[in-house]
A and B are shown apart, each in its own frame.
Chain A
């Protein structure tokens, strides 16, 4: 890849990483590259979409796309099986619906999605709990308007019994106490420079702020700068310094390829 020298690659959830993590040798897993995000440790995903209940909250109004992208990227590393995607009908009118074609852009097989349309928040919660308890699905993703502490606690207990991880997609108004393992607040960031056309958006980038975290208290409040590479199909951490303006980029391939296919 073109910017490999400036980025710390982090393919999430590889087995080796997991093993090293287990043995407490996290130090070894740290990359040797010089430009590294200071608090980026191998523990970054914090079992996102692998265990427990995680809240993914949009940063501001209109950031649903970024939050959805973050969730879809996380699903890449979930265990095998079907993804149960539950959404409230009233919410989908406002924010639209996730599409199989869009998910395919994240390297996810659309045939593995099972969508559930709930007509009320209560129904969405019932479906979520039922899905987590059943153990028949890989991950349960729920789009909700809001959730209270008791409900998150219920979902945590169900998740501990069934062992199915759950992601809750919540709007920017989400505040206050939660029993969930972590709360990620995801905002979009200006996308990566596009090597083929400096005027076009590049790989999507997001800033994920870990607002609350029960498993790694010391990481709470940390911001992760993320980028999704939709060619290599992996989510990686971006160092601050790597995010330089495109002007300093040497000869862009756009000069070599003046004609682009436009569909």
Chain B
């Protein structure tokens, strides 16, 4: 038995029991095979949903969540209100939960799992020692063996450890590791050692949130709320004189799910109308389910906003390109067509035509084309095929240009040809020695179509059989 609920516990079924034993104690017991992966995924989703209370949320083992609510209680009125909100929402989602709040993660862990009530609070101004005194040793997050050892010494309560001399305690353990673990966990619980939290998601640099008394069920409501959110966020950004390059809209549903819309911009922005426009077309993709009761809009990757003076008229502009307008257009296209849809060509310093150019996502600046590089590259075709296509060629052996070739089932007669342009393989990159030198030819067929074909290898170059022909590009 991996987990049991309360009625089952009342019948004497415990975790760790064999299924047959459990069946004998409670013959009518309903059981399902455990799916640890699905559990883990569900817990992670719940952890993301919990970012509605605090941006710092992390998973804790297989069945717990850890939230750093420092400074967050204020948003809900008080710590008590925050706790009751968490409790109510969890219950509404059909989850039973035990809550514990403490000044240190260790204390909160012990209080939530072994606390006397359903909700156990140790406020910051109360002594931690007092709160943890009566809790069992198991609340210290120790391994089973260590716990067993402590119990043998007669130490069952955390409070009993307070007065034992540290070195005396260590001497009782055979292994140094176990002794260290006890000391470490105790110090962590008491706040003598810091325990950092690795959040599920990086906390945003700027965030705006709006909760709703009545859950939103349609896109129009979300759009209206988003207007307010972007304005709040942009005011915050403006106060610090910066813009951001990534925006994430999270919609928290009342049934414990959250959907996320994220977009990135080519340059940093803080124009609320622009951000709103980027989100507007995609709002429909949010599934409101039974209603959305909280929306947050977060800004990531903040950066100094590059402001540019507007020219009085286009004639006076030194550069004909309005970079801001261009970046705004790229953002809109990216929002509509998906990440990386807008690209700029960028040269690569190589002789291999297949790799000579790459398309990189547009980031507000044009590619860096070196004139010298262009000049030495010679005559290059207007259209490159994605990958070279094999063609059947009739050509003079060993290195004559094609006379006739069949490409895509059409036979073409070559009228004129120019070449070869020999491009040797880049031995310093190719890890397989089978790469062969290519002889490129510019050829023209009887109708005037111009192609770029190559012979992959030379005759008797000792790298495989007879070379094959490929078509690589189309000239204009």
Contacts and interface: CB of A to CB of B under 8 A. Distances in A.
Nearest to B440: A263
Nearest to B362: A114
B383 A65 contact: yes
B377 to A, nearest CB: 6
Interface stretch (B68-76, B123-131, B329-337): B329-337
Contacts of A154: none
A96 B476 CA distance: 12
A244 to B, nearest CB: 16
Given A113-B345, A228-B476, A101 B380 contact: yes
Interface stretch (A33-41, A122-130, A216-224, A249-257): A122-130
Interface in B353-402: 356-357, 359, 362, 366-369, 374, 377-386
Given A63-B449, A96-B383, A130-B336, A109 B369 contact: yes
Given A102-B384, A104-B380, A200-B442, A115 B369 contact: no
Interface stretch (A8-16, A42-50, A66-74): A66-74
Contact of B448 (A95, A127, A190): A190
B476 A200 contact: no
Contact of B476 (A68, A81, A92, A135): A68
Contacts of B357: 99-101
A189 B322 CA distance: 39
Nearest to B418: A200
Given A62-B410, A65-B476, A105-B380, A126 B336 contact: yes
Given A137-B326, A189-B448, A81 B321 contact: yes
A187 interface: yes
Contacts of B383: 64-65, 68, 95-99, 102
Contacts of B440: 263
Contacts of B422: 262-263
B124 to A, nearest CB: 54
A66 B474 CA distance: 9
Contacts of A70: 476
A131 interface: yes
Q: Most chain-B Cβ atoms within 10 A of its Cβ — which of A102, A109, A189?
A: A102
Contact of A191 (B359, B421, B448): B448
A117 B343 contact: yes
Contacts of A81: 320-321
A232 B422 CA distance: 27
A263 B353 CA distance: 13
Contacts of A96: 383-386, 473-474
Contacts of A19: none
A97 B476 contact: no
B341 A117 contact: yes
A5 interface: no
Contacts of B366: 82, 111-112
Interface in A83-120: 84, 92-93, 95-106, 109-119
B326 A82 contact: yes
A114 to B, nearest CB: 6
Interface residues of A, number: 68
Interface in A178-210: 187-191, 194, 197, 199-201, 204-206
B293 interface: no
Nearest to B474: A65
A177 to B, nearest CB: 28
A115 B473 contact: no
A143 B448 CA distance: 22
B374 A104 contact: yes
Given A101-B356, A197-B418, A200-B417, A205 B343 contact: no
B370 to A, nearest CB: 10
A199 B415 CA distance: 8
Contact of B420 (A65, A95, A98, A262): A262
B357 to A, nearest CB: 5
B138 to A, nearest CB: 55
B341 A116 contact: yes
B34 interface: no
A150 interface: no
A188 B382 contact: no
B330 A114 contact: yes
B246 interface: no
A189 B420 CA distance: 23
A233 interface: no
Contacts of A112: 366
- Interface-centre pick from A73, A99, A111 (highest chain B CB count, 10 A): A99
B267 to A, nearest CB: 13
A130 B332 CA distance: 8
A97 B336 contact: no
B459 interface: no
Contacts of A134: 325, 328-329, 332
B144 interface: no
A136 interface: yes
A99 B333 contact: no
A109 B452 CA distance: 22
Given A135-B325, A137-B329, 14 more contacts: A60-B447, A65-B383, A65-B450, A82-B321, A82-B326, A105-B379, A113-B345, A114-B330, A118-B341, A130-B332, A136-B329, A190-B415, A197-B418, A205-B448
Interface of A: 60, 62-66, 68-70, 72-73, 79-82, 84, 92-93, 95-106, 109-119, 123, 126-127, 130-131, 134-138, 187-191, 194, 197, 199-201, 204-206, 228, 230, 262-263
List the 10 closest A-B pairs by CB distance, nearest first.
A69-B476, A80-B320, A100-B345, A263-B421, A200-B418, A65-B474, A136-B325, A188-B448, A102-B382, A101-B380
9 contacts: A64-B383, A66-B476, A81-B320, A82-B321, A82-B366, A101-B374, A114-B330, A190-B448, A197-B418
